Amino acid sequence: MSCSSSNMHEKDDAMNKADSLLNLMTLDEKIGQMTQICFSTITLDGTKNLELHPDSIRKAIVHYNVGSFLSGTGSARNWLDFISEMQQIALHETRLGIPLLIGVDHIHGANYIDEGTFFPHHLTISCSFDTSLVKQYARITAIETSSVGISWNFAPVLDVGINPYWPRYYETFGEDPMVCSMLGAAYIESYQNTCRDNSMKLTACGKHFIGYSDTKSGWDRTPAEIPWQKLYEFHVPPFENAIKAGVKTMMANSGEVNGQPVHSSRELLTGLLQNKLNFEGVLVTDIKDIQKIVEIHAGAQNEKEATLLSVNAGIDMSMACNSFDFIKYLKELVKEGKISEERINLSVKKILRLKYDLGLFENAYAEEQSLEMIGTSEHRKFARKVAEESVVLLKNEGILPMDPYRQKILLTGFAAHSKKMMNGAWTLEWEGAEEKRQPGNMPTLTEALEEKMADGHFHYIPVPEPGDEALIKSFNARAKSSDVILLTLGEKPYSEFKGNITNLKIDPQHEWLFNLAKSTGKPVIVLLIEGRPRLINDINRNCDALLFVGYPGISGARALANILFGEVNPSGKLSFTYPASANHCTPYYRKHSEKYTPLYPFGHGLSYTSYKYSNLKLSDSIIHGDKQNMAVSFNLTNTGEKPGKEVVLIYIQDEVGKITRPVRKLAFFRKVDLQPGETKELTFMIEPVKNLSYPDESGNKILEGGYFRIIVNDLERRFYLDY
């Protein structure tokens, strides 16, 4: 099911209709459209559970004219009924019958629908370096999300994973701005071009504009200080590319940048986002963020002043959540002449245009039969493929792959028999639902391994703890009769500030467990189930194999079984730097004067086969001027005995810059399929302005003549830009 994004004619049409409707609206009706309320304000029990409170919903829709709602959890059937009932009230019990815009955080698949397909989180997916995989994943998420009548998804995160302490690191597409740009745009295009039926379209939401991930402390929603040049070079690209890809909505960063809460920064939200980057869609606040200008940032005296600042900064909709004060204050501000009605009209027009564009005026209801499209076995299978393509084999001392009929495995660890640990946070609940609410028909790692192994070859033991002598004893006894110990280590799921940590080192209990396993003398394989790279130097040194898994989702256990037993050849590469030291977490695009001291560098990832890069050639050694392109080509050979997929990473080094240059920056990536013995010639085209320039502190591109290098694996060529 796909429908093309709106053409010019449809856009004009939506604009004209929005204009006409706007002319009929009172100020109250307009401000209501700028307000988004949480489901917990309109449900019977005041939670995200999907049962409407008949009075509260009418208060919101009929009395306050609220035009948008967010966030629930439940079965597909509940979702569909809940939304249909709300739309019914909006369409039939209000003066103008404007349909509602329903939003959700489906950030790794349809993760708030019980039957939904829960994909790996984005950090894991980004290790696949595969845009086509991301497109298909976004398409499935769009189909499942829209099947219950939700047209707005607060995804993807476009923040760059620049600081591993940041508790939302796992929501990013890794540390590289280009990878974040390409995967983010692939997600947006595919998501927005998928239709629920022939008329209804969907919108993604690029978030969180801008600089959210680069806080000094690494903690959530704490100050970031980012020079403008750095902002343009490393943070703007994913957002800029998302706008080019047609993203219809954006969410603002909840934190502060350079002393300004972003929600009150006209410089960032209007100057940069709207004027410079030409974003014309709807800009929504993050949750309760107008209040947070006062309560967290102390950036305004009171909420009314914060409302004035935020609307003047450029926000179109307030994710007010459980308070209607935004409506009250905004109305007062207009009456007092502090905000003009023209300013209100600007935002309301964008919101109405979006609703027309999404086809909500034609059909605001999901169809009964579309429920069948949620969580199908095809979708599950694809979620497995995504995990298989994304897991990174970091170390292998010849122990992998294993033979399920010959080797005996003992499994333990925090994720060994837990669905919650595999799905991670943002799964049915904000911090991940408790075990009993996790999907019934999802195998844990224990079950997935058991399925594959010969009888009596697999054993699971619950996690032994220091002092639990009985369990330690049976662990040791079982280890004796096993060939390999498989451990899941890492960290428990967390969301936002709940994941703030003071120490990047892995929890001591995980180290203790590793040492216990190691003391048996058996080989130990470690699966890292974690949201960010926790420090594991000793574990890394002493283990026999190590895999970065992240939170791999509903089919992650089966994907891991396939990788461990060699049915799938691992092909993921790190989309981030795995640090060795808590105080030295530099991304790979460091400056020349900085040292790079990773445990595993960006781009690291092993396979069960081997590859050789050869014959790196440039079509010329000089590029004359900014219009001449140059071809880079090389051969890639699978020199091993198994078919495999190699992520090819091509870097450019600008040898000298007026503004000092990173030692290298990724210019291209591609995943290539190769049979044993097969060679492919790969060609990439360097365009000077696109690939060799960098932005100054005003965002203008600087192109400087001089020497550059192309770096492909262990090969390098130098060329000159005559400019």
Beta carbon of residue 71, minimum distance to ligand BGC (angstroms, whole number)? 5
Residue closer to ligand BGC, measured from CB, 43 or 254? 254
Q: Which is nearer to ligand BGC, 254 or 575 (CB)?
A: 254
Residues 334-353 that bind ligand BGC (CB under 6 A): none
- Residue among 292, 276, 269, 288 nearest 347 (CA): 269
Which residues in 517-556 contact ligand BGC (CB under 6 A)?
A: none
Omega before 156 within 30 of 0, i.e. cis: yes
Sheet containing strand 392-396, strands side by side: 392-396, 545-548, 524-529, 484-490, 409-413, 458-460
In the complex, residue closest to ligand BGC by CB: 154
CA 263 vs CA 36, 269, 497, 502, 552: distances in Å: 16, 8, 18, 27, 33
Instruction: Tell me how far, at minimum, the Cβ of 178 lies from ligand BGC, in Å.
Output: 23
Q: Considering only CA atoms, which of 147, 578, 164 is closest in space to residue 366?
A: 147
Binding mask 171-210 for ligand BGC (x = CB under 6 A): ------------------------------------x---
> Of residues 286-305, which lie at the interface with ligand BGC (CB under 6 A)?
286-287
Residue 286 falls in the annotated catalytic set: yes
CB-wise, 118 or 154, nearer to ligand BGC?
154
Q: CB 653 → ligand BGC: shortest distance, Å?
A: 35
427 binds ligand BGC (CB under 6 A): no
Closer of 71 and 691 to ligand BGC (Cβ): 71
Residue among 157 and 568 whose Cβ is closer to ligand BGC: 157
Whether the Cβ atoms of residue 236 and residue 210 lie closer than 8 Å to each other: yes
* Residue number, 212 or 668, with CB nearest to ligand BGC: 212
Specify which residues 489 forms β-bridges with.
528
Q: Are strands 409-413 and 458-460 parallel, antiparallel or unpaired?
A: parallel
Q: Which of 29, 32, 74, 105 binds ligand BGC (CB under 6 A)?
A: 105
Q: What is the closest distance, in whole angstroms, from the C-beta atom of residue 207 to ligand BGC in the complex? A: 6
- Least Å distance, CB 131 to ligand BGC, is 23
Measured distance CA(85)–CA(71) in Å, rounded: 16
The residue from 68, 87, 254, 444 that contacts ligand BGC (CB under 6 A) is 254
What are the percentages of helix, strand and coil residues in the chain, rounded to 5? 35, 20, 45
Least spacing, CB of residue 254 vs ligand BGC, in Å: 6
> Closest approach of Cβ 247 to ligand BGC, in Å?
14
Residue list 46-75, contact with ligand BGC (CB under 6 A):
71
**Contacting ligand BGC (CB under 6 A), which of 496, 678, 687, 696?**
496
81, 130, 286, 544: which one is catalytic? 286
Q: Which of 372, 370, 375, 425 is nearest to 117 (CA)?
A: 375
The radius of gyration of the chain from alpha carbons, rounded to an integer in Å, stands at: 26
Q: Give the contact letters, 119-158, x = binds to ligand BGC (CB under 6 A), - = no.
A: -----------------------------------x----
456's torsion region: left (phi>0), alpha (psi -120 to 50) or beta?
left
Quick check: 669 and 637 in contact, CB under 8 A?
no
Which residues, numbered 455-484, are part of the site for ligand BGC (CB under 6 A)?
A: none
In degrees, to the nearest 5, what angle opens at C-alpha 17 toward C-alphas 11 and 19? 105
Residue 312, helix vs strand vs coil: helix
Burial classification of residue 352, based on how many CB atoms lie within 10 Å of its CB (0-12 exposed, 13-18 middle, 19 or more buried): buried
CA distance 67 to 96: 11
Query: Whose Cβ is closer to ligand BGC: residue 6's or residue 71's?
Result: 71
The site for ligand BGC, by CB under 6 A, has a size of: 8
What is the smallest separation between the CB atom of 212 and ligand BGC, expressed in angstroms? 8
Task: Please give, one letter per residue, the 3-state secondary structure of 125-189.
Answer: HHCCCCHHHHHHHHHHHHHHHHCCCCCEECCCECCCCCCCCCCCHHHCCCCCHHHHHHHHHHHHH
Q: Select 71 or 192, whichever has its Cβ closest to ligand BGC.
A: 71
Q: Where along the sequence are the contacts to ligand BGC (CB under 6 A)? A: 71, 105, 154, 207, 254, 286-287, 496
Which residues are tagged catalytic?
A: 286
